[in-house]
A = this chain, B = another copy of it.
Amino acid sequence: MKVMDDFFSPRSVAIIGASRNPAKVGHVVFRNFIEGPYKGKIYPINPNTPELFGYRCYSSVLHVPGPVDLAVITVPAPLVLPVLEECGKKRIPAAIIISAGFGEIGNHELEAQVVATAKKHHIRFLGPNCFGVVDPATGVDTMFLPRFKIQRPTPGAIAYISQSGATLSVVLDWMGMKGYRISKFISYGNAADIDEADLMAYLADDPATKVICGYFEGVREGRKFFAVAKRISQKKPIVVLKGGQTAQGGQATLSHTGSLAGEARIYDAAFKQAGIIHAANLEQVFDFARVFATQPAPKGDRVQIITDGGGYGVLTTDAVIRNDLRLAQMRPQTVLALQKAMPSHVVIKNPMDLTGDATTERYRLAIEAAVADPGVDMLAVIVLFQVPALTGDVVEVIEEAKSAKPMVVIAGGGKYTETLKKPLEDGGVPTFSYPEQAIASLRALYDFSHR
């Protein structure tokens, strides 16, 4: 769908309902456009004022001088139809209808009229009742919450689509804080026109997107969704959290998005058949996503653990076995060479315990050996940065060791540790605080490349 580009890279955008009143959605959306990195033309539309924050304000899109690629509609529900008519006359190809008050509160007739009007004018639209789009690369940002309340992530390779606007906003905020990087965030609300399957199909061909994530309570058209997912999952990983997996949770989705959550087992089977990776919770969606976005496919399931803390090594070993992966066995010559290069109290096994007097140099030797050894498919590197002799440049040693083998870093602690994890995360090495999350992510990576 060529028109889909108009949602993410429009050359011009009209914000219909832009307002001086900070309590209005149209105010926040307009401010986010003019204060953000968006480079295209911005037209505020409001019949009650000739000017807004230095921008000429138009009473209708029909009075806008140039073409408009995207209309963002924030007016109350009863005004959406006439506004959409004008968008049609202006030949605007794409609209994000943020306005609520349609199917989600039982107003199905009005929603059907919106669909018919859009169809008549060949307008494709997201919503109604949605947050719309955040694309940090182009600066399109219709999330109507101010930046002080919701942080915005920087450009990257993770796409996320969500039926639930609030869940999407929380995740956006959290990823912004963590420094995780996104390609596109999309809240599609009632999905009266564009639905999750359309979005997935678009993201499958989007060169910026390496992994597609989603939170769904139900899907609009099961057959279409799973056909699209099956095709896409051949080339890009799809990671999904399904809300309403218990009968009672399913009841709750009825009050929320009106979705029929369906029976958990049926979804489970359908997800599996479609090659969708099923996350157990929101945190896991983005643990998996970060690893998919940055790490190569592993050749096999053998994990080498390197650590400077015995307890963390033990817990990571437990996690490897519980996730049905195997402990790697390095070749005898690798072990001998490491034994020769390291003090005798260093344990050259799996876990390889560099012990509490570990140095950056020991990490360099250990990681390089594991990367080179054909018996190792993946590396789980535990770095307890707190130990006395370890210096901050261990971060560079780890970054430089990036190779054709997946590698994750496990480092728990406070501010000092978080400060050192940041450059790793920025440099494309996923970091975790606890062993379980790291190893479950390696397992997902292995599964995707060995279906």
Interface residues of A (CB under 8 A from B): 23, 28, 105, 144-145, 148-151, 162-167, 169-171, 173-174, 176-177, 215, 217, 241, 243-249, 251-253, 255-257, 261, 280-283, 308-315, 317-318, 320-322, 327, 345, 347, 349, 351, 353, 356, 384-388, 412-418, 433-436
Please name all residues of chain B whose beta carbon is closer than 8 Å to the beta carbon of A322 when the two chains form the complex. Answer: 246
Q: Are A255 and B349 in contact (CB under 8 A)?
A: yes
User: Once the chains are docked, how many angstroms separate the CA of A322 from the CA of B243?
Assistant: 13
Q: How far is the CB of A41 from chain B (nearest CB, A)?
A: 27
Q: Are A414 and B165 in contact (CB under 8 A)?
A: no
List 17 A-B residue pairs with CB atoms under 8 Å apart, sorted by A's residue number: A150-B414, A151-B416, A162-B311, A163-B311, A164-B309, A164-B311, A170-B384, A170-B412, A173-B386, A173-B413, A177-B414, A244-B314, A246-B318, A246-B321, A248-B317, A281-B435, A282-B412
Q: How far is the CB of A337 from chain B (nearest CB, A)?
A: 19
User: Once the chains are docked, how many angstroms separate the CA of A321 from the CA of B245?
Assistant: 10
User: Once the chains are docked, how many angstroms separate the CA of A2 from the CA of B203?
Assistant: 67
User: Once the chains are docked, how many angstroms separate the CA of A185 from the CA of B174?
Assistant: 31
User: Once the chains are docked, how many angstroms separate the CA of A257 from the CA of B162?
Assistant: 47
Q: Choose one: B144, B345, B347; the contact of A388 (CB below 8 Å).
A: B144
Q: Are A416 and B245 in contact (CB under 8 A)?
A: no
- A173-B417, A282-B315 known; A23-B256 Cβ under 8 A: no
Q: Are B166 and A356 in contact (CB under 8 A)?
A: yes
Q: Give A169's nearest chain B residue, CB to CB.
A: B386
- A247-B321, A353-B255 known; A150-B416 Cβ under 8 A: yes
Please name all residues of chain B whose beta carbon is closer than 8 Å to the beta carbon of A353 when the two chains form the complex. Answer: 255-256
User: Once the chains are docked, how many angstroms separate the CA of A314 from the CA of B322?
Assistant: 28
Q: Are B313 and A256 in contact (CB under 8 A)?
A: yes
Q: Are B436 and A281 in contact (CB under 8 A)?
A: yes
Q: How far is the CB of A408 from chain B (nearest CB, A)?
A: 16
Q: Give A251's nearest chain B residue, CB to CB.
A: B317
Please name all residues of chain B whose beta carbon is closer than 8 Å to the beta carbon of A170 when the two chains form the complex. Answer: 309, 312, 384, 386, 412-413, 417
Q: A245-B318, A256-B314 are in contact. List 9 more A-B contacts (CB 8 A).
A: A144-B388, A149-B385, A167-B315, A169-B384, A170-B309, A177-B418, A246-B318, A248-B320, A252-B310
- A248-B317, A252-B313 known; A413-B150 Cβ under 8 A: yes
Q: Choose one: B252, B282, B347; the contact of A351 (CB below 8 Å).
A: B252
Q: Give A314's nearest chain B residue, CB to CB.
A: B243
Please name all residues of chain B whose beta carbon is closer than 8 Å to the beta carbon of A148 when the two chains form the complex. Answer: 416
Please name all residues of chain B whose beta carbon is closer than 8 Å to the beta carbon of A105 when the two chains form the complex. Answer: 345
Please name all residues of chain B whose beta carbon is closer than 8 Å to the beta carbon of A251 when the two chains form the complex. Answer: 317
Give the interface centre of A164, A217, A247 by most chain B CB atoms within 10 Å: A164
Q: How far is the CB of A214 from chain B (nearest CB, A)?
A: 12
Give the interface centre of A165, A173, A418 by most chain B CB atoms within 10 Å: A173
Please name all residues of chain B whose beta carbon is closer than 8 Å to the beta carbon of A418 when the two chains form the complex. Answer: 177
- A177-B415, A311-B215 known; A318-B255 Cβ under 8 A: no
Please name all residues of chain B whose beta carbon is closer than 8 Å to the beta carbon of A311 when the two chains form the complex. Answer: 162-164, 166-167, 215, 217, 243, 256
Please name all residues of chain B whose beta carbon is closer than 8 Å to the beta carbon of A149 when the two chains form the complex. Answer: 385-386, 416
User: Once the chains are docked, how many angstroms separate the CA of A433 from the CA of B170?
Assistant: 10
Q: Give A310's nearest chain B residue, CB to CB.
A: B256
Closest 8 CB pairs of A and B: A164-B311, A166-B309, A256-B310, A167-B311, A177-B414, A249-B318, A246-B321, A173-B414
